Homo-oligomer: A and B are copies of this chain.
């Protein structure tokens, strides 16, 4: 886990900038003999790719993934799988203003402070385009988890939350918001469109549930399954908070309320609640693994904001160009990918130690 690499035994490294020729991921340690072709990956790329509705950036990227290594005659060989996505719709002229001044809330200033300069085209390495590479890697990780069902969805945009009693996973694919509540999705159309028209942006919460994760994945102490999920999710652009199970809600609970009582079931233990989100002591319990992730509103907005330029003088900035009015929406497939990557890594790590 160093610089641009994530994972313990199943490791991936991503590279590339928003407006470079391409970006990609190298997934290393993948088990051999898994059937893999580009068509196994592309649907996940398509779920994340921009320009699919007026609720996302209008940048048009096919996000076509190419497998450059690690697959022979349709099967993974156990060697590094190099995945490449070419950038086709760069418009660097859009970014001339960003070159001179810092977008508050964006990484512009921090990058200059660290490196002395930055690739300002579309945010360079700090752009959410990096997440295309992990979605590609995550699609391969899913092949290591044939029995695990991973579902992420948007549960809140701005201060408008879904109605959990009305939640239906089948709805997620029926709207441009990955929303499991049809009524909320309807409301969000106006909410997001208004923000877009106003040159503003909105925050969101994405939830992710992994079902059929067996008990025993994860490890003490710094390789806890939830610690890796927290680190992985927090590494996603615009994420400012991560919760496992009830998350911050547990602060308000008593020990009795927070306990997930166990009962003998026909197929092993059954739990009468899942406040823990499927993880105790950093190790999976066999319950669904539940993670919540908070996305901030897009920092690149048309509304002018006070800032300084590279020379340290006061100015204000209006970010033209093409931006998501709510990055959390397209963050959903990324959250799913990180869940898959962390779980596959821990499945292999568990196998290493416990056979």
A307 contact from B5, B105, B261, B301, Cβ within 8 A: B261
A91 → chain B closest CB, angstroms: 17
Cβ of A164 under 8 Å from chain B: no
Cβ of A56 under 8 Å from chain B: no
Within 8 A of B (CB), among A287-318: 292, 294-301, 303, 305-308, 312-314
* Copies of chain A in the complex: 4
Residues in B neighbouring A228, C-beta threshold 8 A: 231
Cβ of A23 under 8 Å from chain B: yes
Cβ of A201 under 8 Å from chain B: yes
* Of A65-73, A165-173, A179-187, the one with at least 4 CB within 8 A of chain B: A65-73
Which residue on B lies nearest to A75, using beta carbons? B117
Which residue on B lies nearest to A328, using beta carbons? B251
Instruction: Report the interface size class on chain A.
Output: 35 or more
Cβ contact within 8 Å between B275 and A105: yes
Cβ contact within 8 Å between B203 and A9: no
A352 → chain B closest CB, angstroms: 4
Give chain A's interface secondary structure class.
mixed
Cβ contact within 8 Å between A77 and B119: yes
Cβ contact within 8 Å between A303 and B255: yes
A283 contact from B2, B107, B261, Cβ within 8 A: B107
Cβ contact within 8 Å between A205 and B235: no
Q: How far is the CA of A204 from the CA of B114 in the complex (A)?
A: 35
Most chain B C-beta atoms within 10 Å of own C-beta, residue among A24, A271, A297: A297
Cβ contact within 8 Å between A253 and B296: yes
Cβ contact within 8 Å between A4 and B28: yes
Cβ contact within 8 Å between B79 and A220: yes
Map CB proximity to B onto A240-273 as digits: 1 under 8 Å, 0 otherwise. 1111111111111111111111111000110110
Most chain B C-beta atoms within 10 Å of own C-beta, residue among A13, A249, A263: A13
